[in-house]
Amino acid sequence: MPTFQVSNLQVDTLTEEQRAAVFQLQVQHCFGDVPGAEIEEDFFTEPVSRVLCYHEDELVGCAGTRVRPIQFEEQTVMLGGISGVCTQRDWRGQGVATQVCTAAMHFLAEAKCDVVFLSTSPMARRLYEKLGFRPVPRFSWENIHGQVKQGDNGMVAPICSREIAERIWQGEHSLHVGRGYW
């Protein structure tokens, strides 16, 4: 099994070379089919940090983290987010995404997030279930134009509050993740 070096770096400390490598990885291997207008209108928030996974000197996986307070059932909840999980095609199935997500969840626990949210494709759902994520019945976000949009591919895992995760999973109220989607 190959050895990977995983690090979580604050976004403002990334070098231009690291930023370019993340962009290249995401466009070439994971999100090249997402329309530019959708990225601009919905995915406009900047992550707090980037988890980078290297094999030797090659970036083989990455993800972003987000932290924001939201209101859920008239309670302030510290929402963590994992975004843009991407593994280079040749390295899929070798634990890269698991290591990246585990590092991101560790960072979000240190940030005292109650729960962590992500959106996923059906292909990746099993990976996230192994990490403790369960589907959210419904969620929404506000795009750059102030329009509230709905999604059905969200998942939540408890970080510091299993109780809040349980309430979200029960689905009596929609989870609104705030301005910007990830």
Number of helical (H) and strand (E) elements in the chain, helices listed first: 5, 10
Extract the tokens encoding 177.
């993740």
3-state secondary structure of 1: coil
Q: Which long-range contacts (CB under 8 A, 24 or more apart) does 15-19 make?
A: 18/50, 18/52, 18/59
What span, in angstroms and rounded, lies between the C-alpha atoms of 175 and 55? 37
Sheet with 75-87, strands from edge to edge, namely 5-10, 49-55, 58-72, 75-87, 115-119, 154-158, 134-135
Who wins on pLDDT, 31 or 77? Answer: 77
Phi and psi angles of residue 103, each rounded to the nearest 5 degrees, phi first: -65, -40
Options 3.40.190.10, 3.40.50.1360, 3.30.413.10, 3.40.630.30; CATH for 5-179 is 3.40.630.30
Confidence of residue 37 (pLDDT cuts 50, 70, 90): confident
Who wins on pLDDT, 59 or 31? Answer: 59
136-170: pLDDT as tens digits? 989 999 999 999 999 999 999 999 999 999 999 99
pLDDT at residue 38 above 80?
A: no
124-136: pLDDT as tens digits? 999 999 999 999 9
Rounded to a whole number of angstroms, the CA Rg of the chain reads: 16
The whole-chain average pLDDT of the chain stands at: 93
Res 57: pLDDT: 92
pLDDT at residue 180 above 80?
A: yes
pLDDT at residue 62 above 80?
A: yes
Q: Locate the domains of the chain by residue range.
A: 5-179
Res 39: pLDDT: 73
pLDDT at residue 28 above 90?
A: no
